[in-house]
Amino acid sequence: MSREAGILLWHYKELISCPLTLVLGEFEQGGLRGYVALPLSNLRLNILVSREGDVRVVSNIPRKEWVDHLLEVCYAVFTGNVNDLDLLERVEATLMFYGGLGVYGVLDNRVVPISLDFVNKQYFYFYVSPVGGLSRNYEKAQLGDWVLLQLALREGLSNLLQNVCRHIARTSNDSCVLETSHGGLVISRREMHVDNYIRVFPDNVPLRHVVTVE
């Protein structure tokens, strides 16, 4: 596979477009373990296959380690080999089919959705403050806390968002800051201009798969 950035003038017969996905946290309740994750619409990796069977990878994701990780997950989805991924990679692969802020449980080594909710992007601004590499030190909270976070992001409830964040994460200057797999996810009512912040947009319909018809 070759990787390229920018615009491709290239005929393809099939394309799969995978969103960068953030793992926000985890929980364990009633003997059930699970994870909370969010796909992003504006940072994506695309795998294209030409009519001759050549494969190219195009991405606008700014950090190489993020691209390398997502390529492994996206290619497993593309080839139907998701079971070859580790557990957290399978969480990321699963959420690509659902979108929004998702709560996923692990049942007999299977990843299944528990609660899925639409993120209303009219109410909040979202930013990622990157860290070096990828992290698996997520926020730990009760299942009910994550459901309340879903409600706050769907309905634009700033007070509820602040209360939940004080309980499961931290607040800073009226913003909620969650430590995720890719750094701090900052959720704010106001637009922010900070040098190392990457503005991101939650994706409610994440995976795109295009096949040409001749």
- Determine the pLDDT at residue 6: 47
For 107, the 3-state DSSP assignment is strand
Name the nearest CA neighbour of 44 among 2, 81, 73. 73
- Determine the pLDDT at residue 58: 93
Burial (CB < 10 A; 0-12, 13-18, 19+), residue 27, is: buried
Token pair belonging to 92: 């990321």
Q: Computed from CA positions of residues 145, 150, 155, 157, in that sequence, does the dihedral angle turn out positive or negative? A: positive
If you average pLDDT over every residue of the chain, what do you get?
90
- Determine the pLDDT at residue 10: 62
- Determine the pLDDT at residue 42: 96
Residue 132 has pLDDT above 90, yes or no: no
Residue 214 has pLDDT above 80, yes or no: no
Instruction: Specify whether the CB–CB gap between 118 and 38 falls below 8 A.
Output: no
Residues in CB range of 163: below 8 A, 6 or more apart? none
Residue 179 has pLDDT above 80, yes or no: yes
Higher-confidence residue of 207 and 148: namely 148
- Report pLDDT digits (tens) over 56-72: 999 999 999 999 999 99
Measured in degrees and rounded to the nearest 5, phi and psi for residue 165 equal -65, -35
Q: What residue numbers bound the domain in which 165 lies? A: 2-211
Q: State CA 180 to chain mean position distance.
A: 10
Q: Per the structure, how many domains does the chain have?
A: 1
- Rounded to whole angstroms, the Cα distance separating 121 from 163 reads 20
Higher-confidence residue of 213 and 153: namely 153
Number of Cβ within 10 Å of residue 17's Cβ equals: 18
Token pair belonging to 73: 């997950």
75: Cα within 13 Å, side-chain hemisphere: 13
- Determine the pLDDT at residue 53: 84
DSSP per-residue codes, 115-144 = EEE---TTT-EEEEE--SS-----EE--HH
- Determine the pLDDT at residue 213: 47
- Determine the pLDDT at residue 41: 94
